[in-house]
Structure 1
Amino acid sequence: MAALNRALTYCSNIHPGESWADIMHNLNSHALDVKQQLGGDAAFPLGLRIAHQAAQEVDDAAIAQFQQWCKQHNAYLLTINGFPYGTFHETRVKENVYLPDWRERERVEYSKRLGDLAVALQPDAKRISISTVPIAFKPAFKDSDWATACSHVLEVAEHFQQLTKQHGIELVLAIEPEPECVLETTEEAIEFFQRLNLPSHLKTHVGLCFDCCHQAVEFETATECLARIKAAGITIGKVQVSSALKASGLEIEKLLAFDEPVYLHQAVARCSANGALQRFADLPEFARALANGQQFDECRVHFHIPIFCEHLGEVGSTQDFLIELLPLLDTDTPLEVETYSFKAIPEHLRHGSISENIARELTWVGNLLADKAS
């Protein structure tokens, strides 16, 4: 992989496990393998998914163990995924992934705990982002919930600001818009920050986790997204480098083969008649629309597929969104490849081990950025 002047990692939510022991096992079993495959002498950044169980288990001994591991293997903590609170693999996750959401105390305390762990695990960091849910699952949210959700986000921001004062590490709560959630489109994200009305001392402590798969599913344009976020003065805590499914014409029905029981696969389809976008909470709902004779000229589906895939043989991808967006980013924006649903991809479309695919994805990003810079 070409040398980069920016931090690039992958999110460890691709590996099953909710405990701190699971995290350390995955570092030893997978992260080191990825690091070795990439080669080079640069320090290896880590994107850790820390579930609630793991966050509660970490003590001083575990912190010391992690720091020693990083020193031994020339690695460091770059970012934390604090989105999934509980079990994230091998059981039905679907809309439960957003629970507890920002209406609930559990989300507040969990997020504060992750801030505490961030400054303890990497005490020499300059900045660490912690991604989180886009307020709540949209069908479950009412307008009367806004006051509670906003006050909870502000409470965590105040906690992060105090930690920054004490430790000199800038912490960013990075809220991640996602289809079928309260924050879904870039427009909704901007409206949220206007509603939140952050005081000046907290503006750097709440931002966005910009997930490329999610915004591509919304039929948004990378250049326009970034321009609007910048104009609104919103911090991008990190960018999750991910790709969605895309199909048009006769390929559209092939998307239904990606329906599986673990994750929610929201779909956004463009109507053939008038070009309007129609949203579906999951693929079975989209399948019913097709069965009822609805006509679409293109559909995109929330399913994180390997980013080096332009086409999967039966359907396409939103890789072009990444090719447009990545060179536009500031070089201090952390990049985190996130292909957590690798095991959910139909088996005949999977090639190689998880570690081999992660290394290939990171290499693809590095080469893209190097080519654009030359």
Structure 2
Amino acid sequence: MKTSLGHLTYCSNIHPGERWDDHFSALQTSIPLIRQAVAPDKAFGMGLRVAGLASKDLLLESNLKPFQEWLTEQNAYVFTMNGFPYGGFHDTRVKEDVHAPDWIQPERRDYTIRLFQILSQLLPAGMRGGISTSPLTYRHWWPTELTRTEAFQQATHHMLEVVVELVRINQTTGQVLHLDIEPEPDGLLENSAEFIEWFNDQLIFEGVPYLVQKAGLSEAEAEAALRTHIQVCYDVCHFAVEFENPDEALNRFEAEGIGIGKIQISSALKVDFENYVSEKMELLSRFDEPTYLHQVVAQHQGTLLKYPDLNEALWDGTPTGEWRIHYHVPLFVEQYGLLNSTRDDIVRVLNRQQRKPFTEHLEVETYTWGVLPPESQLPIEESIIRELKWTLAQVEGNVRNLN
């Protein structure tokens, strides 16, 4: 939906399924209920997640046309998509396989191009569209400097092939579409510093001559195209887990001329071990579950120590200082007993967006409903409605009335 800070939606990666029929069925059930609760008199924007198999289904006219007709009937529109998880994302072990196939594999390139071809046909006239994607690959799959260098090179090449397609779409339709890379802990791109280094030293350096040759652009046009079509997905949870100050990170991106394609509005778990240490460790163990990666970054006396998953931190970590855990917890709850969240970072990011707008797209992304401790679980539509209402209250400056 259109708000004073941009188009706001929730990410439909919370709905299970790998084929389009499964996706569409979930949307047909959930969207009317959510829209009626949060925006009955407005067009309802959607953040669409389409799995790898489903993307092949949806390109078929027999599936795409009925979906377009349904969007019209529902007064709904698609302006952003989540192209990070390719395969099964619920009711199965996901963990590091959320990155597979990674950007080293041609399947990731082909999948992303399919998504852009879909988005191009769904996007309302005059609106920009974006698709978020993984931070190239999973860092621990490339343990040496040599293999990591090779991974960067292959991933960048595949991404440049996608940019050529986005330039073609722009030249053909006038649409501006951008690929929004989502740094996260243990991705090949984890934080703002790593993203900026890769963007300047590899993407621009290699991409300008590549687009001159493959797309027939001048050097200036090629650099402008790269900056238009490759941007950042600012997932608030991820940057908070990395202990990045939102204003400082956003200032760095702005100074480097790197665009923010969308904000993913999400909150991480945060634990201060100043007191009640054993009780907090016991509470934290309830969030250790076998489906998703929950990377941990511990800060003690200015030093950051990283653990690939929560179970390793619980087993090997020393509970001192502050821990931040990559666990997307509900936005409308600030504390979980003795555990806290990084929700304040969302407020800071939205305040920055209000003072100095830097993106058009805002997407609530809490996908862990099925693995939360039982006391935090609610019916899925009720949970999404509460998430969106909390966010809308932030946008309109009226959060106290909805706490």
Matches within 5 A, 1:157-196: 157-194=163-200, 195-196=202-203
Q: What letter corresponds to residue 256 of structure 1 in structure 2?
A: S
Quote the sequence identity (%).
41
1:339 equivalent to 2:366? Answer yes
Give yes or no for contact 2:5–2:360 (8 Å, CA) kept in 1. no
CA displacement 1:257-304 (0-9 Å, x = unmatched):
201010000000112xx33010000011101223xxx34211010011
Q: So what's the TM-score if we normalise by structure 2?
A: 0.88
| Superposed displacement of residue 182, structure 1 | 0.7
Q: What letter corresponds to residue 266 of structure 1 in structure 2?
A: Q
1:301 equivalent to 2:330? Answer no
How far apart, CA to CA, are the structure 1 residues paired with 2:338 and 2:359? 37
How far apart, CA to CA, are the structure 1 residues paired with 2:106 and 2:53? 16
How far apart, CA to CA, are the structure 2 residues paired with 1:367 and 1:7? 15
5+ long unaligned stretches in structure 2: 143-147, 208-222
1:353 equivalent to 2:379? Answer yes
1:276 aligns with: 303
1:261 aligns with: 290
| Superposed displacement of residue 5, structure 1 | 5.2
1:206 aligns with: 230
Give yes or no for contact 2:264–2:363 (8 Å, CA) kept in 1. yes
Secondary structure of 1:296's match? coil
Which of 297, 319, 322 is matched with 2:346 structurally? 322
How far apart, CA to CA, are the structure 1 residues paired with 2:227 and 2:57? 31
Secondary structure of 1:106's match? helix
Secondary structure of 1:8's match? strand
1:25 equivalent to 2:54? Answer no
CA displacement 1:114-159 (0-9 Å, x = unmatched):
1111112235252110111100100113222222111111110111
Q: What letter corresponds to residue 185 of structure 2 in structure 1?
A: P
1:224 aligns with: 248
Matches within 5 A, 1:92-241: 92-122=93-123, 124=125, 126-141=127-142, 142-194=148-200, 195-197=202-204, 198=207, 199-241=223-265
Q: So what's the TM-score if we normalise by structure 1?
A: 0.94
| Superposed displacement of residue 62, structure 1 | 1.4
Give yes or no for contact 1:209–1:238 (8 Å, CA) kept in 2. yes
Give yes or no for contact 2:79–2:124 (8 Å, CA) kept in 1. no
How far apart, CA to CA, are the structure 2 residues paired with 1:314 and 1:174? 35
1:75 aligns with: 76
| Superposed displacement of residue 3, structure 1 | 5.7
Give yes or no for contact 1:179–1:218 (8 Å, CA) kept in 2. yes
How far apart, CA to CA, are the structure 2 residues paired with 1:275 and 1:212? 21
209-218 or 135-144, which moves further after superposition? 135-144
Secondary structure of 2:228's match? coil
Matches within 5 A, 1:14-53: 14-53=14-53
Which of 270, 284, 287 is matched with 1:246 structurally? 270
Give yes or no for contact 1:119–1:125 (8 Å, CA) kept in 2. no
Q: What letter corresponds to residue 81 of structure 1 in structure 2?
A: N
1:286 equivalent to 2:289? Answer no
Give yes or no for contact 1:237–1:333 (8 Å, CA) kept in 2. yes
Compared CA separation, residues 215 and 85, structure 1 to 2 (3 A): same
How far apart, CA to CA, are the structure 1 residues paired with 2:171 and 2:311? 49
Give yes or no for contact 2:330–2:366 (8 Å, CA) kept in 1. yes
Give yes or no for contact 1:6–1:331 (8 Å, CA) kept in 2. no
Q: What letter corresponds to residue 258 of structure 1 in structure 2?
A: F
How far apart, CA to CA, are the structure 2 residues paired with 1:353 and 1:176? 28
1:64 equivalent to 2:65? Answer yes
Secondary structure of 1:182's match? coil
5+ long unaligned stretches in structure 1: none
| Superposed displacement of residue 349, structure 1 | 2.3
CA displacement 1:304-330 (0-9 Å, x = unmatched):
111111111231100010111112121
- Output the aligned Cα RMSD: 1.8
CA displacement 1:216-246 (0-9 Å, x = unmatched):
0111111111111111111111110000000
Compared CA separation, residues 28 and 149, structure 1 to 2 (3 A): same
How far apart, CA to CA, are the structure 2 residues paired with 1:122 and 1:163? 12
Q: What letter corresponds to residue 191 of structure 2 in structure 1?
A: T
Q: What letter corresponds to residue 159 of structure 1 in structure 2?
A: E
| Superposed displacement of residue 333, structure 1 | 2.2
